[in-house]
Amino acid sequence: MNILVLHGPNLHLLGKRQPEIYGHETLADINTTLDQHAAASEHPVVLKILQSNHEGELVSIIGDHIDWADGILINPAAYTHTSVAIRDALATVAVPVIEIHLSNIYAREEFRHHSYISAIAVGVIGGFGSHSYKLALEAMIHILRQTAENYSETPN
């Protein structure tokens, strides 16, 4: 299972960025937890974790992994609420996508209540701080396992 994990703008500043909303863990802490979780999985999981502050770069990264990724975990950060381009890139790659947020975007300002990404995601996990990422990774492993099992059960 090859899983691409993407962090959007300003998430490189986690730990320093509004800790009352986003917590005290750094992005490196979150990535380490994800790597440990992947390594402990009974299924072989390869994670590739990237962060960018630039919309076009995120679009390029997504497209560049069209033949690699079996699933994508993405916290699009502010681009959640603005980016048709990232949505289109994710839809093009056509693998399961899980949208992640540290905060509960529905309990915040109204402009955060709309996501361009949710409609093309299999699910959205938010509001659990850094734990949202771990929950999303578990959900993705579950989805990819089910897909693999269904595929192996399909008669020729």
Interface pick for ligand DQA out of 45, 77, 90, 125 (rule CB under 6 A): 77
Count CB atoms within 10 A of the CB of residue 30: 25
Tell me if 51 contacts ligand DQA by CB under 6 A.
no
> Contact between 59 and ligand DQA (CB under 6 A)?
no
95's CB contacts (< 8 A; 6+ apart) are: 69, 70, 71, 72
Instruction: Indicate whether 6 belongs to the interface with ligand DQA (CB under 6 A).
Output: no
Active site residue 22: yes
Residue among 65, 36, 33, 63 nearest 48 (CA): 65
From the CB of 103, what's the least distance to ligand DQA, in Å? Answer: 3
What Rg, from alpha-carbon coordinates, does the chain have?
15
Assess 134 for contact with ligand DQA (CB under 6 A). no
Pick the binder of ligand DQA from 51, 75, 83, 130 (CB under 6 A).
75
